[in-house]
Amino acid sequence: METQTTLSEDIDQFTPHRPADHNECTGMILPVRDALDILSGKWKLPIIIALSFGTKRFGQIAKEIPNITDKMLSKELRELEMNDLVKRTVHDSYPVVIDYSMTPYGQSLEKVINELRLWGTQHRKRILSKE
Amino acid sequence: METQTTLSEDIDQFTPHRPADHNECTGMILPVRDALDILSGKWKLPIIIALSFGTKRFGQIAKEIPNITDKMLSKELRELEMNDLVKRTVHDSYPVVIDYSMTPYGQSLEKVINELRLWGTQHRKRILSKE
DNA sequence: CAGAATCCCTCAAGATACTG
DNA sequence: CAGTATCTTGAGGGATTCTG
SS (H, E, C) B74-111: HHHHHHHHHCCCEEEEEECCCCCEEEEEECHHHHCCHH
Contact flag, residue A17 CB and nucleic strand D, below 7 A? no
- Residue whose C-alpha is closest to residue A109's, from B118, B72, B2, B7: B118
Decide if A129 contacts A121 (C-beta within 8 A).
Answer: no
* Rounded CA–C1' distance between A32 and D13, in angstroms: 20
Nucleotides in D strand less than 7 A from protein CB = 1-6, 12-17
Integer distance in angstroms from CA A57 to C1' D2? 9
Bridge-partner residues for B104, per DSSP? none
- Looking at the C1' of nucleotide D6, which residue has the nearest alpha carbon? A71
Q: Where are the domains of chain A?
A: 40-129
Per-residue pLDDT tens over the stretch A75-117:
999 999 999 999 999 999 989 999 999 999 999 999 999 999 9
Does position B1 have pLDDT exceeding 90, yes or no? no
Contact A34 B95 (CB under 8 A): no
By three-state DSSP, how is residue B28 classified? Answer: helix
- CATH, domain range B40-129: 1.10.10.10
Type of residue found at B48 = I
> Closest Cα to residue A44, out of A22, A72, A67, A11?
A72
What is the reported pTM?
0.84
Write the pLDDT tens digit of every residue in B55-114.
999 999 999 998 999 999 999 999 999 999 999 999 999 889 999 999 999 999 999 999
Return the H-helix or E-strand segment holding B57.
Answer: strand B56-57
Q: Which has the minimum average pLDDT: A8-22, B96-110, B115-129?
A: A8-22
